[in-house]
Amino acid sequence: MKTYPLTGVSPLFEHERQTFQEIGVKINPILEGVTIDDNFLAPLPSGLKPLRSLEFCWLPTQIVEEYNQARDEAQQRELLEKKVYANCPLNCKGCFVKRDSLLLGQKLLHPEVIMRLIKEAVEKLGTKTIKYLGPTEFFRDPQAFEWLDRFQALDLIVGIFIKDPMFGDDAEVAVQFDHLGITSSEELIQKLASYPRLRLLFNFRSFDDQIQNNLVNGGDSRKIDYPKNYKTVQNRALKLLYKHLAKPELEQGRAARLVIINAPVVKSTINEALEIFKYFTDRGVPVLSTCSMASGKGQALYLNSTLSFFNDLAHYYAKATAYSIKRGLVSQAYTDQYGISPYAGIGHCFQLCNGLLIRETGQLIRCPGADHKEWRDKVTPEELVKEGIVTAWQKTRNYKQASCCNVGCLAKPRIFNSMSFKLGLLQEEED
């Protein structure tokens, strides 16, 4: 059975060919929430290349301290299972987080240390936007609002990936935030909406109740599956998020601060991908959709994929891009200049030449797309903490890459290549 989360919210358009520009509605087609132009990518007055986008992972302070004090890897593993993997109530297939080799045998950086690096990046490297990736749900951290206050003081655009049931389940909120007087999902979302530079990146992959519930369960045998109907919770969450982070913004001539993340697109969801893209786009909410990268358990989702699936994926990218151009989300000139985005129908990821990921271990990684040794920079966590982000940034491969909008998506070489999308575009044109 399919259920639609934004019941009562009508599309913004009156006819098929109408654009956002024609109706005077703003929508930001870049995941990071910025506008990319030559000035944005230009060198800093110091002559350094700017670090415009900084992604980071961290764990709550108490968990970091317990983990770093563990006597051996066995105790570290136990903490991972009980206080990291279990901290997110969901058990998603293809999880970005659950790969023990990323953390075991290593020390974790205290969030305060990473916050200091972020502050240095803002002040000295021109960082404008940051994204929190995990490895747990940001709002399961007792210090969550303290961190938001400090990000706001730095005037940063902050993107936080979320799928936590608390956004649609009052009982989950009460457990986490009752001490702050926040006892319902709506009260939580209203509080978050008061941070004007905050953008919430919400995972949504299917209108079908059974498919969506299946995607958030069965991912790891060490975890108990989510006991409630997640699709019901998710639908309520999206209604509330739209009410407080999209509708008021659109009415005041600003872009929505809600982004739908339809990722990874897999065999069971590919047939809905275009419907999802149109459904939310037509209501002023941008949609990021893509196949999985090579990080976490995502690459395993494609091991038995058929050529038919990849043809369907190529067709989806072609159709989403064509629809995006028709609505004025991106322009034909933009697509001609930069090619097909790794994020179907919206702006490119520019991480590989203008960004960086700080893992919770202090490892610097080119982007979240891959977490193997070849993808990590040679700067050690000790060097990063001692020398700072300005020095570390200049030693990275991303720093050496010429600044531009699109250098290709190197994190998906086997499942994302230009030839497949050229094939899809040609077939779309023939259709």
Torsion of CA 269, 219, 198, 190, to 10 degrees: 90
Each residue's pLDDT expressed in tens, for the chain with a length of 431 residues: 999 999 999 999 999 889 999 999 999 999 999 887 778 888 999 999 999 999 999 999 999 999 999 999 899 888 888 888 777 888 887 676 666 666 778 899 999 999 999 999 999 999 999 999 988 899 999 999 999 999 999 999 999 999 999 999 999 999 999 999 999 999 999 999 999 999 999 999 999 999 999 999 987 777 888 899 999 999 999 999 999 999 999 999 999 999 999 988 988 999 999 999 999 999 999 999 988 665 555 566 666 677 788 888 888 988 999 999 999 999 998 888 877 888 899 988 877 778 899 999 999 988 877 666 777 889 999 999 999 999 999 999 889 887 776 666 666 544 444 444 444 443 444 34
Q: What is the pTM of this model?
A: 0.92
143 domain residue, yes or no: yes
Residue 3 lies in a domain: no
Structural element, H or E, at residue 21:
helix 20-23
Is residue 15 domain-resident?
no
Domain CATH for 356: 3.20.20
CA distances in angstroms from 387 to 52, 118, 363, 379, 421, listed in the order given = 20, 14, 14, 10, 42
What H or E segment, with its residue span, contains residue 289? strand 287-289
Q: 364-365 and 355-358 as β-strands: parallel, antiparallel, unpaired?
A: antiparallel
Q: Is residue 118 part of a domain?
A: yes
Collapsing DSSP states into helix, strand and coil, what is residue 130?
A: strand
Classify residue 7: in a domain, yes or no: no
Has residue 20 been placed in a domain? no
362 contact partners, CB below 8 Å, separation of at least 6:
107, 108, 109, 113, 380, 381, 382, 384, 385
Q: How many CB atoms lie within 10 A of CB 30?
A: 23
**Domain membership flag for residue 390:** yes
What is the residue range of 139's domain? 25-430
Total number of domains in the chain: 1
Asked if residue 210 belongs to a domain, the reply is yes
